[in-house]
Amino acid sequence: MKTTFLKTAFISLSMLTVSSCSSDNENTSDEVIIDPPTQSDPLTTKNVTGYIVDANATKETVALFYNLKKLAKTKTAIGQQDAFNSFYLDAGGDSDIKKSTGFDPAVLGSDFMFITDKNNNNQSGNWFFQQEQKIINDTKAAYAKGMINTFCWHLREPNKEESFYVSDMTTEQKTTAFKSILPGGANHEWYKKKLDKIASVVSNLKAANGELIPIIFRPFHEFDGSWFWWGASFCTPEEYKKGYQFTVDYLKNTKGVHNILYAFSPDNSYTTESNYLSRYPGDKYVDILGMDNYGDFDNKGQSGANTANSKLKIVSDLAKTKVKIAALTETGYRVTESIVPVKDWFSVYLYGALTSNTIEVSYVLFWNNNKDGYYVPNGSVSNSGDFNTFSKKTKSALVNSLPKMYELPK
C-alpha cells in the first residue's frame, strides 16, 4: 500500500513553505528506432494514430506516443514529481537529480491539484494561481529541454473541497462522492467545471514556436486502494470506468483538447492480468498502462524487487499485446533523518525490477523531495553514488540520453 502520509506531509508542507555488467556503466545516447513493424510491435510511424486514444492528436503528441513506445525497448526514462520546485532541505537551484548526476530528469511530474482548487481565483495575487503559473512555466521549461511532462490530479472531494483522502470525509460523503460526479449526478456540473479549467490550461500550453506541449494525464490514480474518494471501496468497477471514460471524452471531444496522452495507473494490489484490468476503461481510452508501487520496494530487498518485477511484467506484456505504453508511474523509498537509505536500492533492486524478464517500461517517476526527506539523492547524501550508478546503466535515461521525443523519426 502507498504510504499516503508522505503525500499529506508534502502537500501541507508545500502550502506552508510557498506561502510564508560493465557495459551497464556506460551512458549511451544512441536509440534504436524499430520501423517497419515486428511481430512483437506492429506500431509504425504510418499507423500510430490507429493506436492512440485521440486520432486527432497534435503531431507532437502522436510523436510522443510513438517514441515512448519505442524508447521502452532500449531505455527507461527517469523522472521526478515537482523536480524543479521541491528540493531536499529546501536547497533550491537545479533539480536534485541534476545536482546528483549533472543532468536533469527525463520526466517531470506535476499535479492539477492547485490549478483546480476552489480557492484559485485566477488573480495574480492569489497563492493558488501563483502555483498554477509556476507549474505552467515548469512544464514549458521541461518541454524546451526535451523532457516528458506527466500530470496527476489530487482532486478535492466535491462536498467541501478540502481533501482528497477519505479519512477526512463522513461515511455518506465517502459512499456518494464519486457517484455524484458521473453524468446525472448531483455534482456532475461541478466536475465539468473542474475539467473546463484543465482544458483551458492544457489548451494554452504553448512552446516557443507556438506548438501545443503534449502532456500525459493520469486521472483517478491508485484507484484499487481505498485512501482516495475514487478508490475501490467507494465506486463499482462500472462506475469507475464511466467516470474515466467521461473525463477522456469530455476533454477530447467536448473541449477539443488534442495534446493529451491518457494513463491508467492502479496501485500495486494486483497479482494477475484480470485483477489489473478489473476497472480498465478500455483501449479506446488509455494510452499508457501504469502502476504506482511503493510497497514492494519498502526495504524488502530482492524479494520485493522480484514481486514488483512480476507485476511490471503483467503491465509490460499487456502493453505489448494492446500496443500501449508501459510505465512505473510512481515509486520511491523515502529517506529522512530517521530512515536511512537502503544499500543498492536504485542500482540493484529498482533497476532489476525495471529490466528483468524482458519487460519494456518507458519511464519511472519518483515522488517529490522536500525539506524533511527525499526520494532522489541531491548529491550530498550517502546514497548519491547508488543513484548515479543507476542513472548511468545501459537501460536508464536522463534527459541527456533521450531521443527527440516530439518528432517522428524519418
What single DSSP character describes residue 234? S
State the Cα angle at 112 between 108 and 117, rounded to 5°: 150
Task: Point out the catalytic residue in the list 189, 222, 238, 239.
Answer: 222
Determine whether 330 is an active site residue.
Answer: yes
Q: Which residues contact 301 (CB under 8 A, 6 or more apart)?
A: 342, 349
Task: Point out the catalytic residue in the list 60, 157, 330, 360.
Answer: 330
Residue 47, C-alpha cell as written in the block:
499507423
Residue 260, C-alpha cell as written in the block:
493529451
Answer for the pair 328, 290: CB distance below 8 angstroms, yes or no.
Answer: yes
How does strand 325-331 pair with strand 396-397?
Answer: unpaired
Q: Which amino acid is at 127?
A: W
Question: Residue 118: phi, psi to the nearest 5?
Answer: -60, -25
Q: Measuring CA to CA, how many Å separate 118 from each of 189, 239, 255?
A: 14, 25, 21
Determine whether 60 is an active site residue.
Answer: no
Residue 157, C-alpha cell as written in the block:
472531494
* Residues forming a β-bridge with 165: 228
- CA-based nearest residue to 65, from 79, 50, 80: 50
* Residue 182 CA to its chain's centroid (Å): 24
Residue 73, C-alpha cell as written in the block:
525497448
Q: Which residues contact 98 (CB under 8 A, 6 or more apart)?
A: 104, 105
Rg (CA), the chain: 20
Judge residue 344's burial from the number of C-beta atoms within 10 Å of its C-beta, 0-12 exposed, 13-18 middle, 19 or more buried: middle
Catalytic site positions: 222, 330
